[in-house]
Structure 1
Amino acid sequence: MASSSSSSPFLMHPVADENTKEIQHLSFYNLKNNKPYNLKLPPCLKNTQFQCIGSSKGWLAFLNQTLKNPFLFNPSSQALIHLPQNHHQITKLILSQDPSLRPHTYAAVAIQTPLISGKLSFSRNRDATWHDLSNPSETYYDAVCCDATNTLFALAPRLQVESWNLNDDSPTKTTVIRASFPRSLCLAKEAFPRDLYSSQLYLALASGGGIVTAVRYVGDYVRYDGEAVCEGDTLTDYMAAPLVCPYRTMGFRVLRADVSGGDWGDVEGLGDYAMFVGGNETAVGLRKNAIYFTDDYWERIDEDYSYGGHDFGVFCMKDSRFEHVLHLEMDKINPPPFWITLPSST
């Protein structure tokens, strides 16, 4: 599989004060040597409560929890870019281009979730407001941007992929992949039935005109022995409280299609590359045949200390085996970590 990035992302972990919830510094874990690098925050960000809502093109996206203002922060240059105030919850924010290299043409793209749908909006440099994209679908699961062409690709229901050229004054939607569900996903529904599992979808670009979708299957209630059970099965006659059965990622399926069109096909392996999924813009980097994932089950991550914020790990494509990421998933991490590709991570 060709890579959309020649480097391996860092795992960024915001370290917050347990009492005030204010972030004190950022720790970046290099997966090559498993060492953390701590970054002090600039004075303007100290004594502020904010949460990470994305990472893209070497930048982190944060939301000031008091003012509800999103902003971009570059860990390498410590540059700060303020974005328009948002009126809906942003679940992921990505960049069409690197603002450091293309300050006049980049756009910030937000996936927002009013109620149960996920809509797309964008804001260009120095805009005072967010703009809705034209001809939107009913919802979107994920989005990714091509830096070279300033093109946005978004994953809509039934695995349709739509695109917008963000160089245009009024970007118009084009459907680049219109395919029915592959048979492999129909079979996966049997292995991961909806009454026991939730699914999350991620979109990534690969060189050569390819586009990749990863489907993540999360057991909503998973026993200590690894079996997904119904919520009612967590109740017992001999204990006052229900059994602790946190949600847990139980499997992945990866599909690929050409942007020029065609059907989705199964990807059996990623070769010398890996996917990095979570709250970040989905990345492809130089790691061996695996999917690195962080917890982004936003609907339940704050449900209970025993249930949310633990779902981190590595899924090995060769044998469907799970491994730890720096043993971080042993305890709840709050705020949750994000993947980010830094210039120094080559």
Structure 2
Amino acid sequence: MASSPSSSSSTFLMLPIADEDTQEIQHLSFYNLKNNKPYNLKIQPNLENTQLRCIGSSKGWLAFLDQTLENPFLFNPITQTLIHLPRNHPGITKLILSQDPSLRPQTSAAVAIQTLLFTSKLSFCRSGGSAWHDLPSQSETYYDAVCCDATNTLFALSLELELQLSDEAFPDDLYSWQWYLALSPAGAGEVIAAVRYVGEFVRYDGEVVYEGDTLTDYMAAPLVCPYRTMGFRVFRADVRGGGGGGEWADVEGFGDHAMLLGGNETAVVPAVDLMKNNAIYFTDDYWERIDEDYSYGGHDFGVFCMGDLRFEEVFDFEMEKINPPPFWITLPSST
């Protein structure tokens, strides 16, 4: 299709369509959440025949990594603008922007979460810069980060919060926990953290089992029990003045807002008429296991309704593996 995403809605599910044999991205498909209609955009000719991996979406831009050269770059799907970032930065698992570089090209910066072995660090590059700079670290692991333009502040989510807000209802021998951080719509002094509980091996009937329970006496191969998101818990804290020392309290709901999380910049946005309010929209970002063929990598995405704790599907993809996985992207309302 030659259509472009419509200005009547701002949130889309972006699905890079790759060649089954070469894994090279051929075009980008944007699904409108209001009418479930796809809009396909052809990638730039100079990006064809290149193995790309999407490493984020932020401020209406997509972030990609050239897996051959480990070179990250930004791509605006509306204007088709491409911005190269400093080269040779391997291990990026998420990239967010401090500001929209098309609106503030002189002051914007890119912040990368770089995961190496069992640790992760934060680094940044300024607009037009030639190098990445590591941010001072007080933790061995950072899960997510978000920039507040109003206060020119970067907030980061580290291991200490996981230890503080553990939940015995989701034991770590059956579940993995993934953490996200977003600015609260309540104002610049508040942030929202969400923990996502992923069952490592989930049967067709929804029961989370141990890996050994997938083995049978009458089949040559184990039962297919893909990982699946089984629950969420959301917290808020007042971090006015920086330092992150506010008390964390449970969030029961989002009112007329919805949360977008996954490989994208985590955000709480007005639900308007194209999304369910008081819900969490999530995509698959379990990078440690997403490439396991037998576990249907890329399929762990949907909608979690905060009111009745119910899961719903966004789209029903019949393919066994979605590669690359989907990403949420929020486009400016002026486009």
TM-score by length of 1: 0.87
Would the aligned equivalents of 1:312 and 1:328 in 2 still touch at CA under 8 Å? Answer: no
Which of 310, 317, 321 aligns to 2:299? It is: 310
Q: Distance in 2 between matches of 1:127 and 1:106?
A: 11
Would the aligned equivalents of 1:279 and 1:296 in 2 still touch at CA under 8 Å? Answer: yes
What is the SS of the residue equivalent to 2:246?
Answer: strand
**Counterparts in 2 of 1:20-169, with a 5 A limit?**
20-159=22-161
Would the aligned equivalents of 2:262 and 2:282 in 1 still touch at CA under 8 Å? Answer: yes
Q: Deviations over 1:224-263 (max 9, x none)?
A: 1111111111111221111111100000000011122531
CA RMSD of aligned residues (A): 1.8
| CA positional deviation for 1:154 | 0.5
Q: How many residues align?
A: 316
| CA positional deviation for 1:331 | 4.1
**Counterparts in 2 of 1:181-192, with a 5 A limit?**
181=164, 185-186=165-166, 188-189=167-168, 191-192=169-170
Q: Report 1 or 2 for greater relative contact order, CA contacts < 8 Å, sequence distance ≥ 6.
A: 1
| CA positional deviation for 1:306 | 3.5
- Cα gap change, 1:264 to 1:130, in 2 (>3 Å): same
In structure 1, runs of 5+ residues without a counterpart are 1-6, 161-179
- Partner residue of 1:281? 265
- Cα gap change, 1:201 to 1:8, in 2 (>3 Å): farther
Q: Distance in 2 between matches of 1:27 and 1:344?
A: 19
**Counterparts in 2 of 1:310-329, with a 5 A limit?**
310-328=299-317
234-243 or 246-255, which moves further after superposition?
Answer: 234-243
Q: Deviations over 1:26-51 (max 9, x none)?
A: 11111122111111112222222111
- Cα gap change, 1:35 to 1:17, in 2 (>3 Å): same
| CA positional deviation for 1:307 | 3.7
288-297 or 131-140, which moves further after superposition?
Answer: 131-140
Would the aligned equivalents of 1:291 and 1:316 in 2 still touch at CA under 8 Å? Answer: yes
Identity fraction in percent: 76
Instruction: Specify the code of the residue in structure 2 equivalent to 1:194.
Output: D
Q: Distance in 2 between matches of 1:340 and 1:147?
A: 19
Q: Distance in 2 between matches of 1:31 and 1:8?
A: 9
In structure 2, runs of 5+ residues without a counterpart are 1-8, 272-276
85-94 or 272-281, which moves further after superposition?
Answer: 85-94
Q: Distance in 2 between matches of 1:197 and 1:46?
A: 38
| Counterpart check, 1:299 vs 2:277 | no
Q: Which runs of 4+ in 1 moved over 6 A?
A: none
TM-score by length of 2: 0.90
Would the aligned equivalents of 2:214 and 2:222 in 1 still touch at CA under 8 Å? Answer: yes
Would the aligned equivalents of 1:8 and 1:286 in 2 still touch at CA under 8 Å? Answer: no
- Cα gap change, 1:77 to 1:148, in 2 (>3 Å): farther
Q: Deviations over 1:58-105 (max 9, x none)?
A: 100000111110000011111111111234310001111110111111
| Counterpart check, 1:248 vs 2:237 | no
Q: Deviations over 1:101-149 (max 9, x none)?
A: 1111111110001111110000112222110012442110101112334
Would the aligned equivalents of 1:275 and 1:290 in 2 still touch at CA under 8 Å? Answer: yes
53-62 or 320-329, which moves further after superposition?
Answer: 320-329
- Partner residue of 2:274? none
Would the aligned equivalents of 1:219 and 1:228 in 2 still touch at CA under 8 Å? Answer: yes
- Partner residue of 1:220? 200
